[in-house]
Structure formats: C-alpha cells, structure tokens
Amino acid sequence: MQALVKHTGVVVPMNRCDVDTDQLMPKQFLKRIERTGFGQFLFFDWRFLPDGSENPGFELNQPLWKNATILLAQKNFGCGSSREHAPWGLADYGFRVLLAPSFADIFFNNCFKNGILPVKLPQEQIDDLFTRAAENIPYSLTIDLENQRITDDSGLSLPFEVDEFRRDCLLNGLDDIALTLQHEDKIAAYEKAHAV
C-alpha cells in the first residue's frame, strides 16, 4: 500500500448526500477478483450515458476535475453494501483523500485498508470548502496527515483527527498483510516449531 504523509491535489466537489457503494462501483463489475483496474468503472452509471459516451454533466468528466485526487462530498458517503470494490475503484482512479461530514462505517474502515484517507469534518467546514471550491476552480488542498491539518493557498488551516493506529498505518503504507509480515520471523519460527 502506498504511504500517505502529505498530499496536495485538486478537489472535485460532489455535492450529494448518501452516495452509496452501488453508485461508486456498480454490481456488474464485482466479478473481478484482483484489486486493480476498477477505476474505469468508478461511478459508471453517472459517468457514462446509455450509449457508452461520457455524461458531460457529471463532475468527473469536467476537464478541470479529471485528474482530481481529493473528493469533497456530503454526509453518509459510501453507504449501502459493504463491497470493498468501492475503495478499490476510488484508489485506482487516483483518489487519495475523501472529505465529508460522515461516512458509512464499513466503507470508512475499508478506505484506510486501501490507502485512502477519509476525513470527517463538521458540516460548516464542509460547506465552506464547497464555497471555496466553487469560487476557485480548480481548487487545491494540502492534506498533512503527519500534522493532521488541511490547508490551501488562501490561508485556510483546518485541524482534523484520525485514530492513531490508522494514521500510523497510512503514514507507513501498512495494510493488513504488511502489518502481519512485520512478524514474519516469529511466524516462521512458530511454524517450524509446530511442523508436523
């Protein structure tokens, strides 16, 4: 997993509540078993028209936001089914940070396990970020996980909180497998001592 210490990127505002995992990664793409290649299917039903062409009205199809790496959303982002394919798609598309007033619990946990930082901010701060994003296109933010602070070029400075264990994992690029492999020598010794 790629570490995240400090990230600066373009913000795409998605001013919608209750964006569910069925929209993030539609069911027809869940047959794949690898974690890569899902970015092309992210928000598929919103990004593309029935004839397969891009929907010009959808946020991610706007030229200024095509390479956005920070997604600004409204409450209950990632609700719905618990599919891990949703954060796989976000990560594969290039998103590193999600900002919202609230996230669905399972989705929130899955983001950390896949190298994405979901940041919960009070509604008034989210509303202010939407205003700034509308007035400064394209709008960029710097997310400093080490110091737990969000800044922009206009003097914005917002603190945020992240659970210490999750913060450490992201700072060091450790997913569940990498955490386990930190004890590889002890695992090998145990297996050797208990070989049948």
* CATH number of the domain to which 95 belongs: 3.20.19.10
pLDDT of residue 81: 86
Nearest to 119 by CA among 168, 86, 159: 159
pLDDT of residue 33: 76
pLDDT of residue 178: 63
pLDDT of residue 83: 85
Decide if 98 is inside a domain.
Answer: yes
d(CA 60, CA 46): 9
Decide if 101 is inside a domain.
Answer: yes
pLDDT of residue 180: 62
d(CA 124, CA 22): 28
pLDDT of residue 177: 66
**Residues above pLDDT 70, as percent of the chain:** 95
**Pairing between β-strand 117-120 and β-strand 97-100 as defined by DSSP bridges:** parallel
Three-class SS of residue 157? strand
Decide if 135 is inside a domain.
Answer: yes
Q: Could you tell me the pTM of the whole model?
A: 0.90
Nearest to 13 by CA among 78, 64, 82, 85: 64
Helix axes 164-172, 105-113, angle to 10 degrees: 30
Decide if 133 is inside a domain.
Answer: yes
Decide if 1 is inside a domain.
Answer: no
Decide if 112 is inside a domain.
Answer: yes
The contacts of residue 76 (CB under 8 Å, 6+ apart) are: 17, 18, 19, 102, 103, 104
Looking at the structure of the chain, the number of domains it has is 1
pLDDT of residue 45: 96
Decide if 35 is inside a domain.
Answer: yes
pLDDT of residue 129: 98
- Segments in the chain below pLDDT 50: none
pLDDT of residue 174: 81
Largest CA distance in the chain: 67
Q: Which domain holds residue 132?
A: 6-193
